[in-house]
């Protein structure tokens, strides 16, 4: 069974956070058994320092446009281009009208499935699932707080539905990036079991579409939906 992703529009795990929390001792035990999981813990630390949703509606700078171009090319959609969204109402409309059966969605699903399959050639499903659950639960509160702050700064009334859409999109991007990292780690470690460090600047992982989508969130953006040849980007 392929490790599933958080459903879009949800805030991830809602159980008691103490039940999802994993002690450092437990994490170290997992790492000793499955070295590839180390990269996921490092990624969790990286994601914990992201300033989520801080550049929403701002003009697209050169760095952002470069990531968008690489992302669209990676999906096999080089003819597509960004369609900037100016406010939360535009973002809500784009998110709520998103077609989960669209060509772009199906392409991303294929990337997620391929990454999970590759990761599971070296990492047990249980170990990968534990790390992904830990990642989601550790970020849930921070991402939610950032959404609320972004709504407040934009003078938008707090909306549970809109907040859930934004948080769910961020968690989905994190999940996809983590799967791509796990697949990359599995591939490297299968080739060289004695590898001690993984180069996350390696083009294979840095330019993976799922990692590029996550990087847009790292830039404070929200890639809301890809419809036709337009990437709705808030």
Residue 69 is predicted with a pLDDT of 97
* Stretch among 22-26, 67-71, 202-206 having the lowest mean pLDDT: 22-26
Per-residue pLDDT reduced to its tens digit, 10-26: 554 444 544 455 666 66
Are the CB atoms for 165 and 93 separated by under 8 Å? Answer: no
pTM metric for this prediction: 0.83
Among 85, 134, 107, which Cα is nearest to 213's?
107
User: Is pLDDT larger for residue 201 or for residue 20?
Assistant: 201
Residue 74 is predicted with a pLDDT of 95
**CA distance linking residue 30 with residue 24, whole number of Å:** 10
Q: Can you tell me whether residue 223 is helix, strand or coil?
A: strand
Query: What is the pairing mode between strands 223-227 and 230-233?
Result: antiparallel
User: Is pLDDT larger for residue 194 or for residue 234?
Assistant: 234
Per-residue pLDDT reduced to its tens digit, 97-151: 766 657 788 899 999 999 999 999 888 888 888 888 988 988 999 999 999 999 9
Residues 6 or more apart whose CB falls under 8 angstroms from that of 188 comprise 195, 198
Residue 42 is predicted with a pLDDT of 83
Q: Mean pLDDT, to the nearest integer, of 84-92?
A: 92
Residue 114 is predicted with a pLDDT of 96
Mean pLDDT of the chain: 84
How many CA atoms does the CB half-sphere of 124 hold within 13 Å?
A: 7
């Amino acid at each position: 069974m392929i490790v599933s992703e958080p459903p879009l529009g949800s805030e991830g795990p809602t159980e008691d956070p103490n039940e999802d929390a994993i002690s450092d001792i437990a994490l170290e035990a997992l790492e000793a058994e499955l070295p590839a999981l180390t990269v996921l813990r490092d990624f969790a630390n990286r994601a914990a320092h992201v300033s989520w949703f801080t550049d929403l509606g701002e003009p697209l700078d050169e760095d952002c446009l470069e990531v968008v171009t690489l992302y669209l090319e990676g999906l096999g959609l080089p003819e597509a281009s960004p369609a900037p969204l100016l406010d939360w109402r535009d973002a809500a409309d784009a998110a709520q009208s998103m077609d989960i059966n669209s060509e772009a969605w199906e392409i991303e699903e294929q990337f997620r499935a391929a990454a999970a399959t590759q990761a599971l050639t070296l990492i047990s499903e249980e170990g990968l699932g534990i790390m992904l659950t830990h990642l989601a639960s550790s970020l849930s509160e921070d991402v939610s707080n950032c959404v609320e702050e972004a709504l407040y700064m934009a003078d938008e009334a707090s909306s549970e539905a809109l907040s859930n859409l934004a948080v769910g999109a961020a968690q989905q991007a994190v999940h996809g990036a983590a799967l791509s990292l796990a697949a990359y780690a599995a591939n490297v470690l299968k080739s060289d079991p004695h590898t001690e460090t993984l180069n996350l600047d390696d083009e294979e992982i840095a330019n993976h579409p799922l990692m590029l989508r996550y990087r847009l969130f790292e830039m404070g953006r929200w890639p809301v939906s890809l419809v036709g040849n337009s990437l709705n980007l808030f």
